[in-house]
Amino acid sequence: MARPNLPLIDALRRTARKLREGAPYEWGHMGGCNCGNLAQELTKLSKGQIHAYAMERYGDWNEQVADYCPTSLMPIDLVISEMLQAGLSLEDLKNLEKLADRRVLSRLPIENRFLRHNHRDDVILYLTEWAALLEEELLAKIDLPKFEVSVQKVDQGTATMNQFVQSHSSHPSAS
């Protein structure tokens, strides 16, 4: 599962929002499919650039991920490397293309768990739920300090404030 972090969560939400607002979506296009749309957000490359990079090697995203080599300097491998640096795993990319991560799907109502990997609305639902899951995981890691309020300290603070007000209200320039 992805490494929860704010930039990744934001990229997932931006991708979902853009798709909801009508961004180009073509499941058979390497730059306009599920992974391609997220890659646009994470890399700032265009749909066309991502597609052209992918076409320098054979296969869809699953095959590209399976053949990924971080030292190849193939353009699509550089795109995948940037996505991995953002906190994704190779497995996340495979799951995104097929909308298949069980942790994401299990959070959906039973009637919505059978997502079609090549339907815009299902991709939006998946991305949105995935972002919510990662946000919950990130928040769970934050350990906030516990504060205890002492009544005595509050009373002392009030007394000090009252003394301050009294001493300044009797000052000659306060008239």
Return the closest-CA partner of residue 76 out of 106, 19, 35.
Answer: 35
pLDDT score at 175 = 45
Is 163 part of any domain? no
pLDDT in tens, 89-127: 999 999 999 999 999 999 999 999 999 999 999 999 999
> What is the rounded distance in angstroms from the CA atom of residue 140 to the CA atom of residue 131?
14
- pLDDT of 157 reads 53
pLDDT of residue 165: 53
Query: How many domains does the chain contain in total?
Result: 1
pTM for the model:
0.81
162 found inside a domain: no
Residues 105 and 130 sit within 8 Å (Cβ to Cβ) = no
Higher pLDDT, 158 or 25: 25
Domain that holds residue 40: 6-141
Encoded amino acid at 51, one letter: H
Q: Quick check: is 106 in a domain?
A: yes
Residue 116, pLDDT score: 95
151 inside domain? no
Model confidence pLDDT, tens digit, residues 38-91: 999 999 999 999 999 999 998 999 999 999 999 999 999 999 999 999 999 999
Q: Which of 71, 76, 133 is nearest to 101 (CA)?
A: 133
pLDDT greater than 50 at residue 174: no
